[in-house]
């Protein structure tokens, strides 16, 4: 497959609110941009065939894996994992594990998808735990943050691995050059963070040839764009993300109340409605789109559940990018470079100790 | 002192941007409301005396502890602790430890104040670690949150102690009846939080006669007012707080940009300026005022650095409330009730196990 001129993607054709139509539309749009794509559509042939009649281009480059079973949005991940062995999602993920596809895309139940992807694909070589990664708008553009909730507690090695994966994600998916990396930490003098954060920082400082580590970042500086990649454990990352979302909703509601408080303020609201919409556009899609599990033994991209054809095509594009850029290989190489950095750092320490003694 | 009809407060007269004038003004305003107050003004007599001439009421109920040394805003806490032994802040805290005052109030350097208060006052009986507590606006009114950064890692017993202190703070300082208590946690199904959070929840469930524990809360629900008291470790608490503040600043800036983007939008901005100001008023003071260290062996209240006389009088009021309500005693009593709950819970478990076996 590595030498094939084609990139083959397994698509969970039944996952997502507008599936299977949005999936096939997405495949069509992605194929127009990139003719080297090939698809494995996993889903109910009786639903897929009538749609494919209208998309002969997609049909001609697609195989179908037929199943009538699929994971519902309200299914619990643990149940989905045990009882969904013939579901479209599970079979699509299996296609990657079996080497039939280079990556899998699903717009289905997020929790179930993560559970299944972790179980089937395991983690990639050198990574002990996958992390949820996503990008966010900042005052300077955007930043990448991980882990957003896959691991509630992390040791320093996990955090260092997240830094490597975040670096590659920032370069490959976000197109950042030499992204700066920071560890999320608390700011007051008395408490410079947990032992895990301290040890991770010490290791990352040794890796300066491999990673552009700039130190700690406080919670209020993330959105300032003070770092390109923000690394943290899944507990703090989830809470930072959710607290920000909560505040954003709260302020939007307060603003709405302010505008609706009188006739004049309603008129005022009307006059700023256009720039406000721009503001909203800037905030929303990035906050909620494109969270993915990185560090798996295969590439699994999540498109959000409400994705239409255009959004789904975008998820396919991300998957394609990751395959063609050799994301997994890049992470492996960087992990190797990092281990050399750390080895050298330790050797230098030993040398220094010997000189001192 | 417990039987005295007076409440004696040690005031760090040199701490805060507008000290010592704001401190004496604050004392004056507080005294007008509560004639049973007595003050120990700690600071430079040469600066205090000329001001006190204009405030004879304050002068007549105050003693002065003279010192010319004070902690500067830029002093590091560790330095302040070692080198500030004759500072106004340290001597004011000492007055509580020595039984000369019922509580201390300072508007000086927050980090230094916490370090000094922790060192001098130690923790109260039954509390292993003090926590930073503050109240925040929510859509329903306000909530209390702790720990906001005093302890980067906490075990389940720490979290349970925080719940007790938060409950008493919510009742006493915020005037809430039977406040609901929740543990901050991540939301996805796979990971219901760390072992510490799980164990703390199990203990709090056993304490239902003593605390109104309602379970877990996610980061985005804090501001919804889903719980009256949000309990978490200092790392997550600090990050939730800072991330929210960062988002609030970000959105305020975006809104400002939106308003300044054209002539019409500027006019619109003008029309909503009054309700917007109300919105701002609702957000700001509560977010930044009144964070305090709870669980110390004495009552130490922090007034914010830029406090004027009115704000300082408010900090004095909080200190007075805590003294007159017997906050320390209430926390002790509740801790005792809790330990009985837990004991009974364990006994029941044992009974159940015996029945089962």
Asked, for residue B352, whether it belongs to a domain, the answer is no
| Residue A175 contacts B, CB cutoff 8 Å | no
Regarding whether B308 and B283 lie in a shared domain, the answer is no
DSSP per-residue codes, B108-137: S-HHHHHHHHHHHH-BPTT-SS-EEEEEEE
Q: Quick one: B267 and B197 in the same domain?
A: yes
What is the per-residue pLDDT for A41? 97
Q: In angstroms, rounded to a whole number, what is the distance separating the alpha carbons of residues B315 and B12? A: 12
Question: Is-contact A311 A26, C-beta < 8 A?
Answer: yes
Average pLDDT, chain A: 87
B160 token code pair: 């349970």
Question: What does the pLDDT look like over A50-69, one tens digit per residue?
Answer: 999 999 999 999 999 999 99
| pLDDT reported for residue A26 | 95
Q: In chain A, what percentage of residues exceed pLDDT 90?
A: 55
pLDDT at A30 over 90: yes
Among A244, A282, A286, A287, the strongest candidate for a mutation testing the B interface, having the largest count of B CBs within 10 A, is A244
Taking residues B276-302, report their average pLDDT. 72
Our CA angle for A110, A113, A118, nearest 5°, is 125
In whole angstroms, what is the distance from residue B246 CA to residue B27 CA? 34
Asked if pLDDT for residue A3 goes beyond 60, the answer is no
Task: Quote the number of domains for chain A.
Answer: 1
Instruction: Determine contact: B254 vs chain A, CB below 8 A.
Output: yes
Domain identity same for B137 and B283: yes
pLDDT of residue A245: 87
Residue B237 lies in a domain: yes
Q: Which domain holds residue B15?
A: 1-127+295-325
Pair (B273, B147) in one structural domain: yes
Pick from B113, B152, B224, B232 the residue to mutate for testing the A interface (most A CBs within 10 Å).
Answer: B152
* A40 Cα distance to chain centroid: 22
Q: Does A265 sit within 8 Å of B151, measured CB to CB? A: no
Inform me whether the pLDDT recorded for A1 exceeds 70. no
Mean of pLDDT over chain B: 87
CB proximity under 8 Å: A 4-43 to B: none
In the predicted model, is pLDDT for residue A189 greater than 60?
no
pLDDT bracket for residue B205 (50, 70, 90): very high
pLDDT, residue A87, reads 97
B48, part of any domain: yes
> Is A320 inside any structural domain?
yes
Among partner residues A110, A239, A272, which is closest to B236 by beta-carbon distance?
A: A239
Q: What is the CATH number of the domain that holds B80?
A: 3.40.718.10
Q: Which tens digit of pLDDT belongs to each residue from A113-136?
A: 989 999 999 999 889 999 989 888
Considering only the beta carbons, identify the residue of B194, B221, B243 that sits closest to A240.
B243
Task: Give pLDDT, residue A190.
Answer: 42
Comparing C-alpha atoms, which of B170, B128, B111 is closest to residue B327? B170
Q: Which of B76, B241, B246 sits opposite A221 (nearest CB)?
A: B246
Asked if residue A172 has pLDDT above 60, the reply is yes
pLDDT mean over A100-105? 96
Please check whether residue A188 touches B, CB under 8 A: yes
Asked if residue B92 is part of any domain, the answer here is: yes
Confirm or reject contact between B234 and chain A (CB < 8 A).
yes
Judge if B281 and B137 occupy the same domain.
yes
Cα B101 to Cα B41: distance, rounded to the nearest angstrom: 11
Residue where one domain finishes, among candidates B267, B289, B311:
B289
Could you tell me which residue, A286 or B18, shows the higher pLDDT?
B18
Task: Report, as an integer, the average pLDDT of A174-196.
Answer: 81
A259–B contact, CB cutoff 8 A = yes
B299, B290, B292: which is closest to B120 by C-alpha? B299
pLDDT of residue A262: 81
Residue B268 confidence class, pLDDT cut points 50, 70, 90: confident
Q: Is residue B222 part of a domain?
A: yes
B236, B148 contact by CB (below 8 A): no
Q: What are the angstrom distances between the C-alpha of A207 and each of A199, A201, A214, A334?
A: 13, 10, 11, 10
Supply φ then ψ for residue B187, to 5 degrees.
-105, -20
CA separation, residue B152 to residues A121, A131, A196, A315 (Å): 34, 22, 11, 38
Which chain A positions have a beta carbon within 8 Å of B286's beta carbon? Answer: none
Reported confidence tier of residue A102, pLDDT bands at 50, 70, 90: very high
3-state helix, strand, coil in chain A (%, to 5): 50, 15, 30
The band of B245, judged by pLDDT with boundaries at 50, 70 and 90, is: confident
Structural domain includes residue A3: yes
Nearest to B238 among A186, A267, A275 (CB): A186
A vs B: CB pairs below 8 A: 229
- Closest CB to A243 among B114, B240, B249: B240
One domain for residues B174 and B279 = yes
Regarding predicted confidence, which is higher, A15 or B9?
A: B9
Q: How sure is the predictor about B296, in pLDDT bands with cuts at 50, 70 and 90?
A: very high
Banded model confidence at residue A12, pLDDT cuts 50, 70, 90: very high
- Given B289, B313, B348, the domain boundary residue is B289
Task: Tell me how many degrees the CA angle A101-A148-A107 measures, rounded to the nearest 5.
Answer: 40
pLDDT of amino acid A287? 43
Instruction: Write down the pLDDT at residue B1.
Output: 47
The DSSP line for B275-319 is HHHHHHHHHHHHHHS--EEESBSSEEEE--TT--HHHHHHHHHHH
Q: Is the CB of B239 less than 8 angstroms away from the CB of A186?
A: yes
The per-residue pLDDT for A256 is 82
pLDDT value of position A352 = 55
pLDDT at B288: 43
Pick from B194, B246, B280 the residue to mutate for testing the A interface (most A CBs within 10 Å).
B246
- pLDDT at A221 > cutoff 70: yes
The answer to whether residue B333 is domain-embedded is no
Query: Same structural domain for residues B97 and B7?
Result: yes
Q: What is the pLDDT of residue A188?
A: 43
Judgement on whether residues B137 and B49 belong to the same structural domain of the protein: no
Q: Specify whether the CB–CB gap between B120 and B90 falls below 8 A.
A: yes
- Which helix (H) or strand (E) element contains residue A206? helix A195-206
Question: Which pLDDT belongs to residue A289?
Answer: 44
In this prediction, residue A286 has a pLDDT band, given cuts at 50, 70 and 90, of very low
Partners of A275 in beta bridges: none
How close is the nearest chain B Cα to the Cα of A242, in Å?
5
Q: Are residues B277 and B309 in the same domain?
A: no
pLDDT tens-digit profile of B131-166? 989 888 888 888 999 998 888 889 999 999 999 999
User: pLDDT for A143-156, tens place per residue?
Assistant: 999 998 888 889 99
A2 contact partners, CB below 8 Å, separation of at least 6: none
Among A78, A151, A245, the residue with its CB nearest the CB of B220 is A245
Say what the pLDDT of residue A135 is.
86
Q: Are A191 and B255 an interchain contact pair (Cβ–Cβ within 8 Å)?
A: no
B4: pLDDT strictly greater than 90: no
- pLDDT of B137 reads 82
Band (pLDDT 50/70/90 cuts) for residue A164 is very high
Q: Which long-range contacts (CB under 8 A, 24 or more apart) does B247-250 make?
A: B247/A223, B247/A243, B247/A244, B247/A247, B247/A248, B247/A251, B248/A247, B248/A251, B248/B283, B248/B287, B249/A220, B249/A223, B250/A139, B250/A223, B250/A224
Res. A327 pLDDT band, cuts 50 70 90: confident
CB within 8 Å of B98: residues ≥ 6 apart = none
B143 and B85 assigned to the same domain = no
How far apart, in whole angstroms, are the C-alpha atoms of residue B107 and residue B92?
Answer: 12
pLDDT value for A356: 46
Kindly report the nearest CA distance between residue A155 and chain B, in angstroms: 13
**Domain match, B144 and B117 both:** no
Q: Which of A110, A193, A241, A243 to mutate to test the interface with B (most CBs of B within 10 A)?
A: A243
Residues B174 and B26 in one domain: no
């Amino acid at each position: 497959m590595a030498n094939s001129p084609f990139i083959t993607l397994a698509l969970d054709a039944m996952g997502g609110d507008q599936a299977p139509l949005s999936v096939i539309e997405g495949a069509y749009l992605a194929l127009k941009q990139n003719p080297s794509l090939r698809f494995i559509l996993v889903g109910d042939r009786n639903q897929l065939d009538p749609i494919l009649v209208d998309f002969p281009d997609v049909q001609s480059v697609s195989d179908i894996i037929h199943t009538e079973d699929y994971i519902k949005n309200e299914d619990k991940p643990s149940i989905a994992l045990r009882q969904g062995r013939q579901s479209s999602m599970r079979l699509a993920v299996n296609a990657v594990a079996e080497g039939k596809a280079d990556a899998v895309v699903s717009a289905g139940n997020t929790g179930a998808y993560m559970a299944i992807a972790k179980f089937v694909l395991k983690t990639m070589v050198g990574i002990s735990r996958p992390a949820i990664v996503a990008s966010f708008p900042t005052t300077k553009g955007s930043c990448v943050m991980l882990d957003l909730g896959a691991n509630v507690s992390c040791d320093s090695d996990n955090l260092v691995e997240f830094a490597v994966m975040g670096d590659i994600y920032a370069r490959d998916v976000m197109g950042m050059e030499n992204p700066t990396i920071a560890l999320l930490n608390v700011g007051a003098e008395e408490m410079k963070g947990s032992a895990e954060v301290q040890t991770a920082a010490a290791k990352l400082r040794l890796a300066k040839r491999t990673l552009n580590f700039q130190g700690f970042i406080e919670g209020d500086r993330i959105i300032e764009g003070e770092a390109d990649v923000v690394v943290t454990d899944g507990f703090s990352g989830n809470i930072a993300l959710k607290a920000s979302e909560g505040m954003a909703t709260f302020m939007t509601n307060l603003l709405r109340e302010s505008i609706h408080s009188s006739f004049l303020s309603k008129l005022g609201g009307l006059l700023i409605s256009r720039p406000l919409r721009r503001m909203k556009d800037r905030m929303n899609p990035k906050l909620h789109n494109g969270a993915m599990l990185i560090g798996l033994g295969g590439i699994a991209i999540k498109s959000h559940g409400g994705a239409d054809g255009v959004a789904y095509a975008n998820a396919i594009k991300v998957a394609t990018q990751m395959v063609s850029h050799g994301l997994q290989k890049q992470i492996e190489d960087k992990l190797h470079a990092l281990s050399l950095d750390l080895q050298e750092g330790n050797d230098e320490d030993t040398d220094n100790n010997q000189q001192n003694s």
